Structure 1
């Protein structure tokens, strides 16, 4: 997991223009195996986190992956795999997550774990903190593993939106300084003792998501949650792009 902190924008209330229309149609971006009209907190939510050799999914590799599943606010499953990346782990990456070449030399490769990881992501609401990072790495690794399309979990399809607590942190804590997972969790009274270890980060992100679920600005149904997150994500990207235009890099 890597975090790219931008600014939030567009405060929202419990309702916003167009919500009725969104609820009348099949919610775009949801996992088709799940009921988009169900309360998302009642559905199985799998929060995934990866630790990697770098930031580029095309050339870097996963060295650890964690999946923590929650239902109705409780953790029901916690999975963690060390992964042999088959390339050296750079010092800069090791300094972040503490995983060395020796730690993974006898671990299975992602290809050997692909089926097991895919199974853990079936029939769940997919989620990750800064989801685009983790989803892109898992997608790249699954593609390299040779897993056939029919064997891929539904949540890995490009059109599926992963629930992202970071998007909600930028909205619900927009006036608070710092949007890293540990900073957001601390403000909510959630402990994160082993930051940058996959299953620990995933569990903290799940608890952050559940905590945000108590805010009246967060939609209750899975479909509405995804649609509002998409709207917020676009607004945040536009806001960051405008800020970058006003503050160009030297």
Structure 2
């Protein structure tokens, strides 16, 4: 039996913006995927406590008013998300997160902001990032690497893009397909696969940084590329609580 025969834990958030260190969670999902059992999907809506920009609303559909009406206090939501993840991760299941540095940094920042013990302070998750895995096994494939692109390439259903539950399920499906298409992954211990992704992600981001640096009109974007995985570390202690 390999880790692909056991459940995967999917995690996804939709947010107020694109900065994981200062923006806030609006919706989130934790999924128990596969392992011979029906998928279990748990979702949350949070009142982020700040205005939701129109650009973010266009992505996930939640206005500030809708989140305030349907959502619960952000601190309570963050605490429940962390608890749900810790429970599943502590069973030894890998944590699947598409573009892990965004979602996991967002969760860590929100935990600090609301005085919640964070996921990485509570547990030691073995993370699988389908974007990193796909880029490693098929580096030169043309086309995008968004979740929608990966679902299309690996023939994985995506019922509603930018719905956190649907995205978390789809990310697990893509990860399962990648591993079973490249069987050496299924034989690689999760701890080792996690550590390999640290290096693969750094190499991939270095390549992206180089591409921006030598592309006219995109040189400034090279300064924004970070190679940290699966978390972007805070610049100083307490910085997320201040954001």
Shared fold per TM-score greater than 0.5: yes
Partner of 2:137: 172
Change (3 A) 1:203 1:75: farther
* CA distance in 1: counterparts of 2:36 and 2:204, whole angstroms: 27
Change (3 A) 1:246 1:219: farther
Q: Deviations over 1:132-191 (max 9, x none)?
A: 000011001111121246995314xxxx55210000121233313111101110111112
Aligned residues of 2:9 and 2:32 also touching (Cα < 8 A): yes
- 1:206 aligns to 2:175 (yes or no): no
CA RMSD of aligned residues (A): 2.3
Partner of 1:134: 103
- 1:90 aligns to 2:56 (yes or no): no
* CA distance in 2: counterparts of 1:182 and 1:89, whole angstroms: 24
Counterparts of residues 5-44 of structure 1 (less than 5 Å): 39-44=2-7
* CA distance in 2: counterparts of 1:150 and 1:203, whole angstroms: 20
Partner of 1:15: none
Larger relative contact order (C-alpha < 8 A, sep ≥ 6)? 1
Runs (4 or more) in structure 1 with deviation over 3 Å come to 73-76, 148-153
Q: Given the alignment, which residue of 237, 246, 249 partners 2:205?
A: 237
Change (3 A) 1:61 1:199: same
Partner of 2:75: 111
Aligned residues of 2:111 and 2:118 also touching (Cα < 8 A): no
Change (3 A) 1:151 1:97: closer
Partner of 1:216: 183
Aligned length: 209
Aligned residues of 2:82 and 2:118 also touching (Cα < 8 A): no
> What SS does the aligned partner of 1:121 have?
helix
Aligned residues of 1:118 and 1:152 also touching (Cα < 8 A): no
- 1:145 aligns to 2:114 (yes or no): yes
1:109 positional shift: 1.7
Q: Between Structure 1 and Structure 2, which shows a larger proportion of helix residues?
A: 2
1:195 positional shift: 0.3
* CA distance in 1: counterparts of 2:149 and 2:84, whole angstroms: 28
- 1:125 aligns to 2:105 (yes or no): no
Unaligned runs of 5+ in 1: 1-37
Aligned residues of 2:21 and 2:105 also touching (Cα < 8 A): no
1:104 positional shift: 1.3
Aligned residues of 1:219 and 1:225 also touching (Cα < 8 A): no
Q: Deviations over 1:2-61 (max 9, x none)?
A: xxxxxxxxxxxxxxxxxxxxxxxxxxxxxxxxxxxx832244421111100101233311
* CA distance in 2: counterparts of 1:236 and 1:219, whole angstroms: 22
Unaligned runs of 5+ in 2: 220-243
* CA distance in 2: counterparts of 1:129 and 1:149, whole angstroms: 19
Change (3 A) 1:131 1:145: same
- 1:184 aligns to 2:150 (yes or no): yes
